[in-house]
Amino acid sequence: MFIKRSKSTSSPANPVRKGFIILFLPFCQRRISSGLKMARLSNGTSSKACFKLFIAGTIPDRLKGLMFRCDLPDDCALLITGCNCVHSMFMLFSIDAIFLNSSLEVIAVKHLKPFRFSMPVKRACSVLEIKYGLSSRFDIRPGDRVVIDEQ
């Protein structure tokens, strides 16, 4: 929804200048749904983290990803299948991109700020996107595995 205020003047009570367009993004308020699956990250002996998982397997879902969202909850993650690099264009927050091979083993972890591109990662088949800083907090590193639980 676009709101255009055309004939207003700037004052302390009304800081909107003439012709200023306010862009309201109602889809920013959407949260990632809890999805149908849960993902656990483990190092083989113990579980490090657990996320509600949204899987972007279709082309439209993969293209959209987390674009235009205001935030990603700490307990949610997006799994993008069939890719070895990601971007954070039109994202309003930073993310940790966890690159996975075909057996869902962590190959690399990269931190992406908004409007950045990651380089392609060799042998990566999918990417798990989580909120920025969680990979450090949970000590996620290459060699860890992702286990997807059916619900």
> Of the spans 11-15, 20-24, 147-151, which averages the highest pLDDT?
147-151
Q: What are phi and psi of 55, to 5 degrees?
A: -100, 120
pLDDT single digits (tens) 25-48: 333 333 444 345 777 777 666 678
The reply to whether 22 and 67 lie within a common domain is: no
Domain that holds residue 3: 1-27
- Give me the CATH number covering residue 42: 2.60.120.1140
Q: Where are the alpha helices (DSSP H) in 8-146?
A: 59-64, 134-137
- How many domains are there within the chain? 2
The reply to whether 45 and 1 lie within a common domain is: no
